[in-house]
Amino acid sequence: MIKNNFLKKTSVRWVVALKEEAEVILDNYKMVLVNEKTLYPIYKNVEETHWLTLSGIGRHNSAASTSYLYTISKASKWTSWINVGIAGSGKGDYGNIYLVDKIFNQNANTTYPATMPKSNLSKMTLLTTDIPITDYSSKELIDMEGSAFFDIASKLTTKEFICIMKIVSDGPSNDIKQLNKLKIIQLVKSNLSKISEVISYYEKLSENENQIRAKPYIFYKISSNWHFSVTQRTQLENLLRRLRVFCGNDDIMELIKQCENSSFVINALNNKIKGNKVNWSDV
Amino acid sequence: MIETIYIEKKIKNHPRTKFILKKFKKARVLEIDKYAEIFNKRNQNFRIQKANPDLILAHKNDGFVLPAPEGFGIGSSENFYFSHMYNCIYDCRYCFLQGMFSSANYVIFVNFEDFDTSIKNVINKNINSKITFFSGYDCDSLALENVTGFAKHILPLFQQYPEVDIEFRTKSIQREPFMSIEPMKNVIMAYSLMPDLMSSSLDNKVPSISKRIQVISDLALRGWKIGLRFDPLIHGEDWKSLYENLLEKVYNSIPLESIHSVSVGPLRFPKKMFKDILKLYPDEPLFTSPLASSKGVVSYDEKIEEEMSSFCKNLTLKYLDNSQIFRCYA
């Protein structure tokens, strides 16, 4: 039970265009189809820490499926969002995986995704197009979804929680017509350890942020015992965040057990803070 | 280590851009149109960015010199500040920058010459007033000196105006260019200090207090004027003995005649800023202090502020004249 709670703090959402691109990932993270009647196919693992949607090809599909996955999976503000897939490239090496740190598309502003720090993976810029391009000259990476995924994911979380990875599948020396399902699966498979390494960073990131941002456990206990207004609930949460640094839950409950109403609770907690002298030698 | 440097297209060929780029040969360089595309946009997490900030080289278009906030001065009738950089390499938990900008990336404005022009204009407009300029309000003025060379650039300008003071406020132990040039009477090297015990908890990535005192002493012996900034004053167990030890150590380590001024300042946050910083660092012991909100400002209560300020002032009066001591409320 404890382990399960711990795992649930990790929160990762994948948006992948094709089933072939997703297969190895679904297998590795033990995700299975949630329900066959969803708008976009959605997969999740037992712990519900990893969810994946198959968006299909194109910007509209990518944007819509990202929003859809957000709603269906009840992603939090501190969920990590991952887009991984194949891409054409005029500069990258066939089969290599790259992190994306700049995105262009013909219709919108250039955007700058953050990338995982201290990664061994090289970074490249991505051009997202609405029609397939075979003129690879001077383009680092070319896909048909990345910009839309980033635009929507940026509305759901901060940019540090978004990651776009592309595996070079075609280019001047590798005709896109030669690409088939098996080859795509193989391309992802050969990069799985690198993908997993990146994902473990994003798992930890969301887990840490969930821990930092979560309401103190005792908040729920107190707010169920007394009636607090919306303003008071914010005050209570902030006071409890500060108090928990130097005061145990039992001590807090002891402090307020005689309080007749929520105002008395807030006052008692405020007074506890007012009386605190930080012992800097203990910090 | 800087992994990515964003450069505004407008200044990609600026000599200072090239100079700075040479310092970060392994960094990935990305061209941008405006620094605002990266900096201070919504949907950024300051705390996560602060762990691995990127560098942005930009051109500043306006607002080169601004009036200093009320209560920031050290005796002059007119006070101004300028910032060639936004954000700081240090990570002090009480710093207002963590609530002011949503991005922790560093921005360096490379068009120093436009700062020169604005500073000269301000001096000419206030020719009959005693003026002090403060360098580095939105950053630490010297912490990245070896990258920017801003102090080295701006000092000759102030050599032309010996009646105008400039303060470099810092927590760094940067000695150059000051050890290599003749001391200037209108330059104040101002150091923020607090008891070591508090500093080791709150001043993350900052040189220790004893290292700072050593540099202060070296610069004082070289002939530079020193400003001591006990700002913010931090409350806690044994604060009196902690501050007493610090002040005695400082006043016994530095030639007193080199001290230009001492300022003491309370810990204060605008209410909204405090809320944002508390969200970023909810487990920070500093925020378990008896801080309360009044009139839009979060601070220790007046009694604590007064007691701490008076205590430090009275100790300082054993060594310095009352006219050298200032209270900072900005």
Delimit the domains of chain B by residue range.
Answer: 59-327
User: For A17-70, what is each residue's pLDDT tens digit?
Assistant: 999 999 999 999 999 999 878 999 999 999 999 999 999 999 999 999 999 999
Q: Residue A154 domain-assigned?
A: yes
Q: How far apart are CA A242 and CA A43, in angstroms?
A: 39
In a mutagenesis test of the B interface, which of A247, A278, A281 is the best target, namely the one with the most B β-carbons within 10 Å?
A: A278
Question: Across residues A91-108, what is the average pLDDT?
Answer: 92
Which among B51, B275, B285 has CB closest to A283? B285
Note the ipTM here: 0.91
Cβ atoms within 10 Å of A175's Cβ, excluding its own: 10
Q: What is the mean pLDDT of residues B83-96?
A: 94
What is the pLDDT at residue A27? 98
- State whether A223 and A202 are in the same domain: no
Q: Residue A93 above 70 pLDDT?
A: yes
Q: Which of B47, B48, B238, B307 to mutate to test the interface with A (most CBs of A within 10 A)?
A: B48
A195 and A72 belong to one structural domain: yes
Count Cβ–Cβ pairs < 8 Å, chain A vs chain B. Answer: 102
- State whether B290 and A241 contact (CB < 8 Å): no
Count structural domains, chain A.
2
Distance from CA of A106 to the nearest CA of B (A): 16
On the question of pLDDT at B46 being above 70, the answer is yes
Tell me: do A227 and A131 sit in the same domain.
Answer: no
- Of B32, B37, B236, Cβ closest to residue A280: B236
Co-location of A85 and A197 in the same domain: yes
Kindly state whether residue A258 falls inside one of the protein's structural domains. Answer: yes
Range of the domain at A95: 9-212
Q: Which of A117, A157, A273 sits opposite B51 (nearest CB)?
A: A117
Q: Which of the listed residues A190, A212, A234 is the one where a domain comes to its end?
A: A212
Question: Average per-residue pLDDT in chain B?
Answer: 94
Q: Examine the domain organization and report whether A207 and A221 are in the same domain.
A: no
Read off the DSSP letter of residue A38. S
In this prediction, residue A215 carries a pLDDT of 87
What's the confidence (pLDDT) of residue B155? Answer: 97
From chain A, pick out residues whose CB is under 8 angstroms from the CB of B51. Answer: 117
Asked if A101 and A158 sit in the same domain, the reply is yes
CATH class for the region spanning B59-327? alpha beta
Q: Do B285 and A114 touch (CB under 8 A)?
A: no
CB-CB contact of B166 with B133 (8 Å): yes
pLDDT tens for B166-215 read: 999 999 999 999 999 999 999 999 999 999 999 999 999 999 999 999 99
Partners of residue B288 in chain A, C-beta under 8 Å:
242-243, 245-246, 273, 276, 278
B328 pLDDT tier (thresholds 50, 70, 90): confident
In a domain, A174, yes or no: yes
> Is A2 within a domain?
no
Residues A254 and A232 in one domain: yes
The CATH number that applies at residue A63 is: 3.40.50.1580
| Domain C-terminal end among A173, A190, A212 | A212
A238/A146 same-domain check: no
Residues B282-301: tens digit of each pLDDT: 989 999 999 988 889 999 98
Closest CA to B299 of B271, B267, B272: B267
Q: Does residue A4 belong to any structural domain of this protein?
A: no
Please give the residue of chain B at the shortest CA–CA distance from A104: B32
Q: What is the pLDDT of residue A2?
A: 37
Q: Are residues A59 and A144 in the same domain?
A: yes
Are A275 and A153 found together in one domain?
Answer: no
Q: Which of A1-15, A38-52, B162-176, B302-316 has the lowest mean pLDDT?
A: A1-15
User: Do A222 and A208 fall within a single domain?
Assistant: no
The answer as to whether A175 is a domain residue is yes
A37: contact with B, CB 8 A cutoff? no
Omega of the bond prior to B232 within 30 degrees of 0, cis? yes
CA distances from A270 to A94, B74, B290 (A): 62, 36, 9
Written as six digits, the tokens of B302 are 């007046």
Residues A177 and A246 in one domain: no
Confidence class for position A3, pLDDT limits 50, 70, 90: very low
Q: B30 and A238 in contact by Cβ < 8 A? A: no
Q: Is the pLDDT of residue B41 over 60?
A: yes
**H runs (alpha helix) in A16-145:** 19-28, 59-73
Say if A23 falls within a structural domain: yes
**Which residues have C-beta within 8 Å of that of residue B160, sequence separation ≥ 6?**
none
The end-to-end CA distance of chain B, in Å, is 32
Its pTM stands at: 0.93
Final residue in a domain of this structure, among A191, A212, A233: A212
Q: Tokens at residue B146, please?
A: 């070896």
Question: Which chain B residues are Cβ-neighbours of A154 within 8 angstroms?
Answer: 43
d(CA A234, CA A256): 17
Does the pLDDT value for residue A149 go beyond 70?
A: yes
The distance of B202 to chain A (nearest Cα, Å) reads 10
Region B251-260: what's the mean pLDDT? 96
* Cα separation, B246 vs B191, whole angstroms: 13
Check A212 against B282: CB less than 8 A apart. Answer: yes
Q: Residue B99 above 90 pLDDT?
A: no
Asked if the structure places residue A167 within a domain, the reply is yes
